[in-house]
Structure 1
Amino acid sequence: MTITIVDYDVRDYSLDKYDVVFHSETIHTMLTHSPSNLPGNSHNSSSLVGLDVEWLPNRQRNMDNPVAIIQLCINRECLIFQILRTPFIPHSLVAFLENQGNTFVGVGIKEDVEKLHRDYSLRVANFVELRTLATERIGEDMRGVGLKTLAGHVLGKDIEKPRKITMSRWDKYKLTPQQVQYACIDAFASFEIGRILYARSV
């Protein structure tokens, strides 16, 4: 697998920009905790959106750490929003998630959506489980697989998911390039899998 990352030196402590290259695709990625850096939302727009979330691993029984980052990807544009570190949740994000015209796709997305609602009272109006969609469109039972397996099957591309990154400190103010890369690829792969599956006839 070929993945590289370019970190742009942006003179803004609340904003980092990266180019994450995944195989032959370059994903323009913005990492921020500032509501002012989020793009505005068009209520009439309709988009397919890759959605994923990460949080500090729960290392003790009865622990339930809140979502630390939310990843949103459309085409080759990815936003990593440090929701745990933001001073407030902007209306543009609320409206984007609640827009019925948007279709959010991911693996295990129902659990992620429920956690966003439980932790931040955010409502995702329209979401689709990629494993279910793949089962319907491909004709094979994909309901028990993970994103890595699904990406290999649908995209023909490998995704590295190192455990040390999966279990890392997603609540930090300054994420590492490796964390940014991991978070971006998860959301981008979700988007690409959804795009390809929706393009297939049932």
Structure 2
Amino acid sequence: MNVTFFNDQIHTVVTHNPFIVERWISDIENSHHRRLHRLIVGLDVEWRPNRIRNSIENPAATLQLCVGHRCLIFQLLHASHFPQLLKDFLGNPNYTFVGVKIDGDVKKLMKDHGLEVAKAVDLGSLAEENGRMELRYAGLKIFAREVLGKEVEKRTPVRWSEWDNVCLTPAQNY
């Protein structure tokens, strides 16, 4: 499916099929073969929020990866297995996985599914290192406005939605 982000078309694959994940990774590595030593991958993880205080946290439901104008939403909870190619991709020390407050997502992937990310960079920390102290604890909405000049909002109903459903809503796919 194509998702429109302002004037850009983002080709997005939503799947729980490990073979489709392998194909997406292979396509990414083939199309970016000249820069695999410095590949940058956006990473985010979603899960069903707990609505009851002090209850056990739900496991990571989706892994979202983006390279350029191509994204993958892998429905972890519905997959029959995690392909070795995905484990190798996440564990490749030449690839830099970036995200807002990514450390929590990386820990959750490891804790819930044993998926290790070799090299993760938090965009807030990176901004701070580059003199943008005000972005140290910024969320995605502020980053989009400050860095891209785009007004983006991830509405609360989407953030608090049922990420473990087999069929994601159109809003969850954006």
SS at match of 1:70: strand
1:33 counterpart = 2:11: no
The one-letter code sitting in structure 1 at the alignment partner of 2:93 is Q
Residue 45 (structure 2) pairs with residue 53 (structure 1): yes
Distance 1:48 1:159 in 2: 21
Within 1, Cα distance between the matches of 2:133 and 2:112?
35
Supply the RMSD in Å over aligned alpha carbons: 1.6
2:171 aligned partner: 178
Task: Provide structure 2 residue ranges, at least 5 long, that are not aligned to the other structure.
Answer: none
Tell me the SS of whatever aligns to 1:79: strand
State the number of aligned residues: 164
Instruction: State the AA in 2 paired with 1:151.
Output: A
> 2 CA distance for matches of 1:164 and 1:180?
13
Matched, 1:20 2:40: no
Aligned partner (choices 74, 96, 105) of residue 67 of structure 2: 74
| Deviation at residue 114 of structure 1 after TM alignment | 0.3
Q: Distance in 1 between matches of 2:82 and 2:13?
A: 17
Structure 1 residues 98-122: Cα deviation after superposition (integer angstroms, max 9, x where no partner): 0011000001100100000000111
2:151 aligned with 1:158 = yes
**1:93 aligns to 2:86 (yes or no):** yes
Q: Percent identity?
A: 44
**TM-score normalized by the length of structure 1:** 0.77
Deviations for 1:5-39, whole angstroms, at most 9, x for unmatched residues? xxxxxxxxxxxxx1111111110000000001112
Determine helix, strand or coil for the equivalent of 1:177. Answer: coil
**TM-score relative to the length of structure 2:** 0.89
CA distance in 2, matches of 1:164, 1:70: 19
Alignment of 1:181-200 (within 5 A): 181=174
Secondary structure of residue in 1 paired with 2:172: helix
